[in-house]
Amino acid sequence: MKRIDTSGYSCPEPVLMTKRALKSSGQGLEVIVDNVASRENVTRFAQATGYSVGCVSEGSRWILTLTK
């Protein structure tokens, strides 16, 4: 599964990075985010495009697992 790190970016950049990565990954993706707004926006985008989203907290970051 492909993994992208969007730490340090503010919205909408994490959502745009996720969108680009999903086009090339196909089945799933792990997205690392470091703020609540990005976590919520990436989750909302993924769910709106048909992905299930799992979330694991890792210190001050979250790892979102997007699967079809």
In the CATH hierarchy, which fold is given to the domain comprising 2-67? Answer: Translation Initiation Factor IF3 (3.30.110)
d(CA 2, CA 48): 20
Specify the pLDDT at position 1.
86
**So what's the pLDDT on residue 8?**
97
DSSP E strand stretches across the chain: 2-5, 28-33, 52-58, 61-67
Burial class (CB in 10 A: 0-12, 13-18, 19+), 39: buried
11 is catalytic: yes
Q: What is the pLDDT along the chain (68 residues), one digit of tens a residue?
A: 899 999 999 999 999 999 999 998 767 899 999 999 999 999 999 999 999 999 999 999 999 999 98
Catalytic residue among 4, 11, 17, 21: 11
Find tokens 């694991």 and name the residue: 56
